[in-house]
Structure formats: C-alpha cells, structure tokens
Structure 1
Amino acid sequence: MIVVTTPTGNIGRQVLANLLRDGESVRVIVRDPTRLPGQVRDRVEVVRGSHGDAGVVNEAFDGAAAVFWLVPPDPKAEDLKATYLEFTQPACDAFVRHQVQRVVGVSALGRGTAPALAGNAGLVSLSLAMDDLIAATGVSYRSLALPSFMENMLRQAAAIRAQGMFFLPLDADRRLPSCATRDIAAVASRLLADVSWSGLGSVPVLGPEDLSGDDMARIMSDVFDRPIRFQQVTEEQFRATLAGQGQSAAMIEAMVDMMRAKNSGLDNAEPRTPLSTAPTTFRQWCEEVLRPAVLG
C-alpha cells in the first residue's frame, strides 16, 4: 500500500495518476474527498482530514509500505516553523509506529551549499530542516531536491497576456535550473513503487537546462510569436507584489530570502548529471501548459 498526501495538488495528483496507471494499491489523505475525480475515488482508499493531524496519519499509515510526503503551501502562515516542522512531526511519529518502509518527500536544492546560503534561504531552509526531521526517524527516505517549478510562471499569466512581461527578483543573466511538475511526479512515483532502495538519499530533479530570465523571455517570444520581456524587480517590489496577493509577512520574508539565495547561486551548486536531468524543456512546457493558460 502506498499513501499519497496532497492528492488534489499540482504534484500529488500527478503522482496519484501515475501510481494508478501502473496498478499500484493507493490510499490518499484528503480534506475534501469530493475534489477527487469520481473515477479516482472509486480506485483508492480515502482517509479524510489533514496529514498534519496525528489521528489522520496514524489511520492512513497503518499497513503502508511507502508514503509520498508534501507539506501543503500556506501563503497566510504566520509561523513557518510550525507550518513545516510541527506539521510534519505527527507523520514522523507515525512512520516509526507503523514501520513505514520508504518515504519520498518534496524538498529543495541547497544541501551541502555554503551555510550562508542554505542557512538563510527561507522556504529552502525550512524544507531542509523538514528532511532532517524525517531522516532522524530512521525511515528510508528520499528527498526530492528541487529547483523552482516551471509552473510558478502560471502566476504571471495575466501580466504576460496584458503587458508582454514577467517579473522576478533575479538578475537578468542569472541562469538557474527549473523543472516541470510532471517530471517531479514521474520521479516520485517511480521511487514509491520501487522496493529495492533503502537508507537516506537526495534525488535532484533539475530539468534539462539552466535558463536566465532573458533566456526564458526569448523562448516565450518564440512560442507566443510576440515580444515577451523579462523585468528584474527589487526585493521591495517583490514584497509589495506578494503582499498584494494576501501573503503573510512571514511568508513574504521567507520568499524574499529564498529568491535572494537563488540569485546568489544556491540552485547552481548541484552538478547536472544524466540521472538528475529531467526531460521536459521550458519550450515544451510553454507550448503545452503556459500558452493555453495565457491565451485562455
């Protein structure tokens, strides 16, 4: 039995679909089962509630061989340590109690980089602390070490449509890896179904290339057949944008710290290898996902 958390989220739903396609037995934890498509609900066991709740995870992990773990985003969180670490602690206790064999968790790049970067990188630092918490249980664990997601660009679909621009607090020539969530889900579902691994490890998913904001703008201009421009914004402008979206002060500072670390090379420290190079290019993703979203 494989347990999937966040089965209606962007990554979790794709992990779930992959596992069901491959004939795996799956149990999901979900607050609102009606958000699952009917054909999915009919094929999975459902435990209703939050996977930050001790009673819920103890019910869900009973008899489970593997767990897909993802802390859900909370843009209004005021205490981010609670959001990541206190949320994860009941699951850690349940991993031990129910002798779960393998856990695959969504995390971030940054392990092994300079302490000045990884130690003050906002959401990245919290993700790495979550990894340490899970690893300390003794469960076999694979943390997916991830750069920024291509899907983050969907938040800027309106600006791309109306202004032909997108905005980030990054140097225009800072080349960084990024990955599509479909590739994250493919790696996660493969690891969850694979009974051969044990111990602790990090699995980078880097996408096929490092791109700067200017590089992405050129690709998007080709895909949309119109000029698209990247505009670097200051940290204060970035803060104002996040505040306008209703994000909490704590989340805003965590995002700013993360982007500052990325702009200083946090995501460039992981060497690219054939195993860490995921297949979906930014151009392919723009053609298949971003262009339909922008054009409506």
Structure 2
Amino acid sequence: MIVITAPTGNIGRHLLPLLLESAPTLGEELRVIVRDPARLPEGVRERVEVITGSHGDPEVVDRAFDGADAVFWLVPPDSSLPPEDAYRGFTRPAAKALAVHGVGHVVGVSALGRGTPVAGRAGLVTASFAMDDLIAGTGTAYRALANPSFFENLLEEADSIRDQGFFTDCVDPGRRAPMVAVADIAAVAAGLLLHRSWTGNADVPVLGPRDLSPDDLARIMTEQFGRPVRYVRQPLDEVHATLVGYGLDASFVQGIVDMKRAKDDGLDAGVTRTPATATPTTFEEWCARTLGPAVLS
C-alpha cells in the first residue's frame, strides 16, 4: 500500500497517474489523502482508496498510514504560520503515525542545500531540512527529494511576461543554478515508491538537465515566444514589503526572503550533476508545452 499526500498539487497530479499506470502490475494498492475528493479526476477516484481530510490532522494520518508500506510526503506551504510550524509542526502528527504503524519507506519533497554554508540561514529551506530530520528520526527509510527552484514558479509571472515583457526574481542575473520541472520530480518519486530496495536515509538531488541563469531564461523565452522578454531583479526589501502587505505571516515572509538570499549566495550550487541526478525536461520543452500557452493565450 502506497499513500500519496497532496495528490492534486503540482507534483501529486503528475505522480498519481505514474503510480496508477505501474502499481497494479506490481501488486500495489494506492491510497490518497485529499481535502476535497471532487478535485481528483473522475477516473482516479474509482481506482484509489480516498481518505478525506488534511494530512496535518493526527486522526487522518493515523487512518491513512494504517497498513501502509510507503508514503509520499509533501507539506503544503501555509503562509499564515512561521516556517518551523508550517513544516516541522505540520509533519509532527505524521511522524508519530509513521512510527506507530511501522511504515517502511517515505519519499519526501525537500530542497537542495543541506551541508552548504548557508543551509542554516535559508528560511523555508532550513525549515524543510528540520522536517526531513523529524521524518528520518522515526526509523523509516527516508529519501528526501532535494529540489532546486521549479520551472513552474514562472507561471506566476505569466501575466507580467505577456503584458509587460518581463519577469522578476531576486538573484543576480548571471547566476546559474539548477532548475527542474515538477513532472520530473514526480517521475523520480514514482521510481522510489514503486521499487523499495533502498534503506537508511539520504538526499536524492533532482537537478534538471542543466544550470540556468535568469538571463538564460529571458533569452530562451524570447526565442520561444517570438517577443522580447527581460529579467528584472527585485530588491529583497521590496519583496518583503509586498508580501507583508498581502497579509502573510511576517516570519513566513522572512523565511521566503532568507531563502531567496541564500539562493543568491549559492544554496543550490553545491551538488554536481551526474546522469543519476539529472532529469530530462529542458526549459525549452517546458516553455513550449506549459508556459507558452499561458503567456500567448
């Protein structure tokens, strides 16, 4: 039995079809935890066991992890809470349920940067490392998917790219770092969940096919969309003021700012890409398939 949290999220909606395709031939059953079962595709609801509720709820995870062999764990970002509560606090009931039910394997969504000089001051990323430590301490075999920034983050900039011809971030325009498509993260997660010969605790870097800078992204988008796209570097204090103005928890906002500062200081640059850590989807392919339709619509 494999339990999938956040099955309708950015990664989960790619992961679930991969598991549904392969699990039956391997004799695996699937169980999902979802707040609103209506958000699951109709054909999916008939093929999985559904536990309704939040996976931050002790009762829900206790029911969901009963009889489970493996769990896909993803914490939904909650900007109303401080980072420690949003990650480690949210995960605490699940960690207890993992130990109680003796779940053998967990694959979690985490971040790059553990062991780097900035790991302890990387805001939300630092909080995700504390979450990893909590899960690893339950005695389950744990694989933390160590992810860089997602291509999908740029979907939030689609209107600006279309209407004003620019996108923003806070890093140096020439700083190259890994980036990845969420579909590739899902594929790595599926492989680990379906083939559980691994033991112990380890990070699994998921690095995309090559490092890219904001200037690289702008050049590729310009080529893909047939119109000029430029990068505008946004000051960190401006990001802080904007997000606080939206009503987000002040410490969560500081966690975002600290994460962005750490990325500009090389948080994601500490792992060498190898055939084992590279993933196939290029930014060009992702632009054509996903960002392009959003920008050019």
Structure-1-length-normalised TM-score:
0.96
Match of 2:16 in 1: 16
Q: Deviations over 1:81-130 (max 9, x none)?
A: 1111121111111111111110000000111111xx10010110001010
Q: 1:74 aligns with which of 70, 74, 78?
A: 78
Q: Is the 8 A contact 1:66 1:192 kept in 2?
A: yes
Q: Distance in 2 between matches of 1:292 and 1:85?
A: 37
CA displacement, residues 165-190 of structure 1 (integer Å, 9 cap, x when unaligned): 00111111111111000000000011
Maintained 8 Å contact 1:100/1:139: yes
Distance 1:91 1:274 in 2: 33
Specify the alignment match of 1:53 in structure 2.
57
Contact residue 168 and residue 238 of structure 1 kept, 8 A: no
Separation of aligned partners in 2, 1:74 and 1:195: 31
In the alignment, which residue of structure 2 is the partner of 1:232?
233
Separation in 2, partners of 1:161, 1:248 = 30
How far off its partner does 1:246 sit? 4.5
Secondary structure at 1:107's aligned position in 2?
A: strand
State the one-letter code of the partner of 1:59.
R
Match of 2:29 in 1: 25
Q: Could you say what the CA RMSD is over the residues aligned between the two structures, in angstroms?
A: 1.1
Counterpart amino acid of residue 87 in structure 2:
Y
Equivalent residue for 1:94, pick from 81, 93, 97: 97
- After TM superposition, the structure 1 = structure 2 runs for residues 77-226 of structure 1, keeping only pairs within 5 Å, are 77-114=80-117, 117-226=118-227
- Partners of 2:99 and 2:138 lie apart in 1 by 7
Aligned pair count reads: 293
* Secondary structure of residue in 2 paired with 1:145: strand
Q: Please name the residue that 2:271 is paired with.
A: 270
Give per-residue Cα distances to partners, 1:195-234, cap 9 Å, x unaligned: 2111111100000111111110000000001110011111
Say which SS state the counterpart of residue 196 (structure 1) adopts. coil
The one-letter amino acid paired with 1:276 is: T
Letter in 2 for 1:193: L
Does the 8 A contact of 2:225 with 2:296 survive in 1? no
Q: For 2:35 and 2:286, how far apart are their aligned partners in 1?
A: 30
1:25-44 counterparts in 2 under 5 A?
A: 25-44=29-48
Displacement of 1:277 in angstroms is 0.5
- Distance in 1, matches of 2:236 and 2:152, equals 21
Give the residue type in structure 2 aligned to 1:184: I
- 2:21 & 2:184 partners in 1: Cα distance? 16
- Distance in 2 (CA, whole Å) between partners of 1:89 and 1:78 is 15
Helix, strand or coil at the partner of 1:125? helix
Letter in 2 for 1:13: R
Structure 1 pair 263–188 and aligned structure 2 pair: CA distance change class (3 A): same
SS in 2 for 1:4: strand
Q: Distance in 1 between matches of 2:34 and 2:160?
A: 33
| Alpha-carbon distance in structure 2 between the residues aligned to 1:288 and 1:247 | 32
Matched residues in 2 for 1:79 and 1:253: separation? 9
- Cα displacement (A) at 1:15: 1.0
Instruction: Give the match's secondary structure for 1:119.
Output: helix
Residue number in structure 2 paired with 1:247: 248
What residue number does 2:66 align with? 62
**DSSP-derived class of the 2:224 partner:** helix
5+ residue gaps, structure 2: none
AA in 2 matched with 1:113: T
CA–CA separation in structure 1 for the residues paired with 2:129 and 2:82: 17
Aligned-residue offset at 1:244: 5.2
Gaps of 5+ in 1: none
